Amino acid sequence: MAPSRAADMIVEIAPAKINLALHVRARRADGYHEIETLFAFLRDGDVVTLVEAERDSFAMTGPFASALTGEGGNLVLSARDAFAGAFGPLPPLAITLDKRLPVASGIGGGSADAAATLRALARLRGVDWKELADIALALGSDVPACLFGEASRGGGRGERLEPVAGLTDMPVLLVNPGVGVSTAKVFAGWDRIDRGPLEESGPLTAARHGRNDLEPPALAIAPVIAEVVDLLRAQPGVTLARMSGSGATCFALFADRSDAAAARRAISTARPDWWCLESILA
């Protein structure tokens, strides 16, 4: 996730996030949910670029830019404004979001974009981005995890992070059936039954023995998710397949890159209308 800088342009990758397991433990008095999760991040994702300019501007490019057109506020701009509120006025900036990840898809797209913007602004102002966790949390529950961008156990709303080892360089395939799912509606559909914590074991073992408690309410909204998970689980070489976050994107982990590539080809051939991304865990 190392950022790059050419002349006065700052470029930050906003890696896709997946939840290898997601246990919802309780609904809190503040309206949020107490969760236990295992975050992992890919090497690929959206891209945020900023450069000093004569006036502020914000542009979106990429295959999923149109899905955000007309939405009004964007977490990239919210992150810019929150950073300026904490560290003082910024120079006029031309910011571009290259939207490569599906929208409302359970892989942290908006949260990752906000986190990448915070890291880029920290570089611009010479601030240690690791000190921005409070600003990140104010922007969204997943933004702190996306800010740090490393495999972690997450507790609380997802902001209490404990880094874990052993999940890097693992081939992964993401598949989205072209359906957007509202996170709020999926959480609202959770049955409020606490089915227990994540195992206190190695992260991959804990993930395999874990679950995603948001899958049943997501399936009620988008039944096609079950088809995606079943198709992923049927691919040779899969070590774990599950829905990520609140859906509708699902993932499969593989031990071998050739198996991941073969799975991508097979699924793209069988369902050419579905979005696929073959990558590696960072």
d(CA 122, CA 27): 34
Question: Rounded to the nearest 5°, which phi and psi values hold at 206?
Answer: -60, -40
Give, as one character, the DSSP assignment of residue 30: T
Sequence-ordered list of residues with C-beta below 8 angstroms from that of 178, at least 6 positions apart, any chain: 102, 273, 274, 275
Give, as one character, the DSSP assignment of residue 62: S
Catalytic residues: 17, 142
d(CA 23, CA 214): 8
Sequence-ordered list of residues with C-beta below 8 angstroms from that of 140, at least 6 positions apart, any chain: 75, 110, 111, 114
Across the beta sheet with 275-280, what order do the strands follow?
238-243, 250-254, 171-176, 275-280
Q: Is-contact 95 57, C-beta < 8 A?
A: yes
- Helix 75-87 crosses helix 109-125 at what angle (to 10 degrees)? 30
CA 141, chain centre distance (Å) = 11
Give, as one character, the DSSP assignment of residue 273: T
Q: Is-contact 7 121, C-beta < 8 A?
A: no
The first and second tokens of residue 218, run together, are: 């997501």
d(CA 101, CA 2): 19
